Amino acid sequence: MHHHRLAEHSGYYQIADRWLCYTFNMNLPEYWEIWARTLQQNHLTEFVITLLEGASPVRMILSQTLFGVSPFFDTNQQASFRAFAETLDDSQQSQMFAMFLKNLEMK
């Protein structure tokens, strides 16, 4: 998958002018553009940024819900749901994805 907005360099991802060390599952970035596109199409980007930046208990409940419902979807959707649930479970990953979304909103 081609990432024109996300550049990888020596174990770091560049988002705008910031370099962030990644410590998350290497499969997550492959979904970020897909998730961002879906959120933009459904006008949910700002809501999800707010969710990612705070509301830790809400993030945990949503992540557990995604883990619970993922078996009812096809394999590709299951992988995406699980990756998003993992992002919600980890505050660092949540912050990084929120920054990624904010950067896209500024363009």
**Can you give the residue ranges of every domain in the chain?**
26-106
Task: Encode pLDDT of 3-61 as tens digits.
Answer: 434 444 334 444 444 444 444 444 447 799 999 999 999 999 999 999 999 878 999 99
* pLDDT of 73 over the 60 cut: yes
pTM of the model: 0.70
Question: 84-102 burial, b if ≥16 CB within 10 A, otherwise e?
Answer: bbbbbbbeebbebbbbbbb
CB 42 within 8 A of CB 16: no
Residue 54's H or E segment, with its range, is none
Cross-strand bridge partners of residue 9 = 12
Q: Which residue, among 103, 91, 78, 65, has the nearest Cα to 27 in the 3D structure?
A: 78
Would you state the pLDDT for residue 103?
Answer: 87
Count of CB atoms situated within 10 Å of the CB of 49: 19
Find the mean pLDDT for residues 97-105. 90
* pLDDT of 94 over the 80 cut: yes
Q: Given the structure tokens 């998730």, which residue do they identify?
A: 35
Residue 18 token pair: 């910031």
Would you state the pLDDT for residue 76?
Answer: 86
